[in-house]
Amino acid sequence: MKLFNSWLALYACMSTVSAQMQRTFSAAASEHQAHTLELSTLASEGFTTFSHPAFPGRSARIKKTNFCDGGVASYTGYIDVGPKHLFFYFFESRSNPETDDVILWTNGGPGCSSATGLFMELGPCLIASVNSTKYNPYSWNSNANIFFIDQPIGTGYSYHDIGDLVSTTEDAAQDIAAFVAIFFETFSKFKGRGFHLAGESYGGRYIPIFGAAVYDQNPTLIVKGLTPVNLKSVMIGNGATDFFTLLRSYYDMQCTNAGIGPLVPISACVRMKKVLPRCEQLQQKSCIEHFDLIDCNAAFTFCQSEIGMPYINAGYNVYDMSMKCDGFSCYPEMNNIDAYLNDPSVRKKLGINTPHNYTSIAYDVNGAFWATGDPLHETQQYLVLIYAGSYDFICNWLGNERWTLKMDWPGREAFSNTPLTEWTVGGEPAGKIRQSGNFSFATIYGAGHLAPHDKPIQSLAMLQRWLADEPF
């Protein structure tokens, strides 16, 4: 199994259908007998509900939803787990939906809707205005069937009947793993199909844990007579897998030529240089040798203030060092996505029938995850490959490269001794790549936090080579 991980975006960022509008599909009473559905037979006027007795208390709803890319079949639905309802979009491949692999994509935050990835980065259509979209020729469904999922609960269109929130990645992972198994069993043409988990930013925390949950679930599926999920890779763009390594690299990104050149006064760089050893000591003592939530959070806050704030005070965009603007205000598409997905006609088409408004970023979800210390746990041990936009600051390429080089795994020495070499697209330099065995690290020249948004041609070329298992 080859696992793919990458670095691409941080802090990016309900449906109760009436009984007469629902058609319900129930799996067989025996765990070893599964009823199946065909996507082509699904209705567009209401949801079809499906479940499996191997997963009691879990079900999902899905409907045809013709929008975004008229050239392929598209669907929307909810994953229902008791009072929890996770919204998703699903698009068939533009190439060969009957044989192409399946990708599940999630944005980060925590608390950012995957509609950001869909309508702004790598989806079949991109937001064009507050009430329209446009065709995206570089969509990642060019060669794969793809899910975009609003998770955890409280993100995007996802909701909880009584308002509770999920606050740890481990809890969120169980919902994703169960849904994937139920979906592949119900729509049996996907059984055994190559499956890839992909995400960006806080996806650096989500996706490795989700991958572990899917992989660890497979023996149980086999015992119950179900087909194991063929998890082929994990893909993470500009991920937040090791916050402290990222933080320590902020010094290099704003004070040296590691990014686009020195960006802050020399006096600020001198102060940061003196603080770095203290940050490392605090992290080692409070977060690694013995994790203490209060002390580890204090260490992170201190280091963020001392090493991150000079860059922010200088007025540069944390998602793209080539811009002088404030965060997502640099991207007018964000407001357009919010307006578009809150349009009553769009909500009706998608099957949204709750009073909850769509929002790109759920700050209460973000706060809940930070309150449990979820972002402060390292996740490297699950990862095998990384890519990063060279202009990103907040999840910068240098910090990502550093933790890949220090990660303890059997191929560490061979990987560390492999030099970075240039990879190209159409004969033009696209970035640098280090590959050894199944572990790879890549950069994308000129891309910021949102690599498919900034460099769509190069990002798609990278994905296609990865899916085809071709060398860079």
Tell me: the pLDDT tens digits for 146-184? 999 998 888 999 988 887 777 778 888 888 998 999 999
Average pLDDT along the chain: 85
392 is catalytic: yes
Place 460 in a pLDDT band, splitting at 50, 70 and 90: very high
Token pair listed for 119: 């309508």
449 is catalytic: yes
DSSP letter, residue 302: H
- CA torsion angle for 95, 96, 101, 102 (degrees, to 10)? 80
Say which of 392, 440, 454, 459 is annotated catalytic.
Answer: 392
Average pLDDT over residues 393-402: 91
Angstrom distance (rounded) from CA 54 to CA 189: 19
1-261+320-472 CATH choice from 3.60.20.10, 3.40.30.10, 3.40.50.1820, 3.40.50.1450: 3.40.50.1820
Least confident window among 82-86, 152-156, 281-285, 353-357: 353-357
Angstrom distance (rounded) from CA 257 to CA 262: 6
Angstrom distance (rounded) from CA 208 to CA 234: 7
Q: What pLDDT shows up at residue 96?
A: 94
Find the helix or strand (DSSP H, E) in which 237 lies: strand 230-237
Report whether pLDDT(254) > 60: yes
Task: Please tell me the chain's helix, strand, coil percentages from 3-state DSSP, rounded to the nearest 5.
Answer: 40, 20, 40
pLDDT tens, residue by residue, 187-208: 989 999 999 999 999 888 889 8
Q: What pLDDT shows up at residue 152?
A: 86
Q: What pLDDT shows up at residue 12?
A: 34
Say which of 52, 85, 377, 449 is annotated catalytic.
Answer: 449
Report whether pLDDT(1) > 70: no
Residue located via tokens 């590691």: 258
Place 129 in a pLDDT band, splitting at 50, 70 and 90: very high
Say which of 6, 15, 114, 201 is annotated catalytic.
Answer: 201
pLDDT tens, residue by residue, 85-123: 999 999 999 999 999 999 999 998 888 999 999 999 999
